[in-house]
């Protein structure tokens, strides 16, 4: 029983309040991006972006912990922290690719996929403690997704505006 307590009670390199703050910040930033998607009634909304951001932040935190873990301090074990970033990038890109559809000669879901991919990057930044990078990237997402959406003309070949007006929030969650 003593070994079990020792196994689950070993200290981390990063203090738990800092870990909690990083995960909560990832939750907030993912929520901000997801809210914008929900507000526009687009796929991959609030829950999806929060989960991607928190998962990526968790991988970032785990990277720091692995680098400083005594079991990996041996000369025979080589740790490359960039592999975690590559794994998160590949995993989120896989999810994002699944949201892209080609139908009737049109591509749909590219912005959704790009937003999911960026939520993963923001999560990694939160997990690694790069809060300024994560915050500024979130601001850029809001500018691109929100402000530029209004400025971008979406005319069809007949000259009509084919962009859907943003519906009023319904209070329901899509994803």
The domain spans of the chain are 2-150
Residues 148, 102: Cα–Cα separation, whole Å:
23
What is the per-residue pLDDT across 102-157, written as a single tens digit (0 to 9) for each? 677 777 777 778 888 888 999 999 988 898 999 999 998 888 877 766 776 664 55
d(CA 126, CA 87): 16
CA–chain centroid gap for 154, Å, is 27
Q: Using CA atoms, how far apart are residues 55 and 91, in angstroms rounded to an integer?
A: 11
The contacts of residue 150 (CB under 8 Å, 6+ apart) are none
No. of H helices and E strands in the chain?
A: 7, 2
Contact 34, 48 (CB under 8 A): yes
Q: How far is CA 133 from the centre of its chain?
A: 13
Q: What is the pTM of this model?
A: 0.69
Q: Which phi and psi angles does 171 have, rounded to 5°?
A: 85, -5
Statement: residue 89 has pLDDT above 80: yes
Q: pLDDT for 30-68, tens place per residue?
A: 999 889 888 888 777 888 889 889 989 998 898 888 888
Spatial separation of the C-alpha atoms in residues 165 and 68, rounded to whole Å: 51
């Amino acid at each position: 029983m003593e070994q079990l307590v020792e196994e689950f009670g070993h200290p981390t390199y990063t203090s738990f309040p800092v870990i909690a703050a990083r995960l909560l910040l990832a939750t907030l930033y993912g929520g901000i991006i997801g809210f914008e998607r929900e507000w526009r009634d687009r796929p991959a909304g609030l829950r999806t972006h929060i989960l991607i951001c928190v998962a990526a932040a968790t991988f970032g935190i785990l990277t720091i912990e692995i680098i400083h873990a005594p079991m990996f301090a041996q000369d025979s074990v080589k740790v490359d922290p960039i592999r975690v970033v590559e794994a998160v990038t590949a995993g989120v890109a896989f999810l994002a690719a699944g949201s892209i559809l080609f139908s009737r000669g049109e591509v749909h879901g590219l912005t959704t996929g790009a937003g999911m991919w960026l939520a993963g990057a923001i999560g990694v930044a939160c997990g690694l403690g790069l809060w300024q990078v994560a915050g500024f990237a979130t601001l850029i997402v809001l500018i691109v997704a929100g402000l530029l959406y209004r400025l971008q003309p979406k005319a069809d070949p007949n000259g009509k505006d084919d962009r859907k007006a943003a519906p009023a929030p319904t209070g329901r969650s899509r994803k």
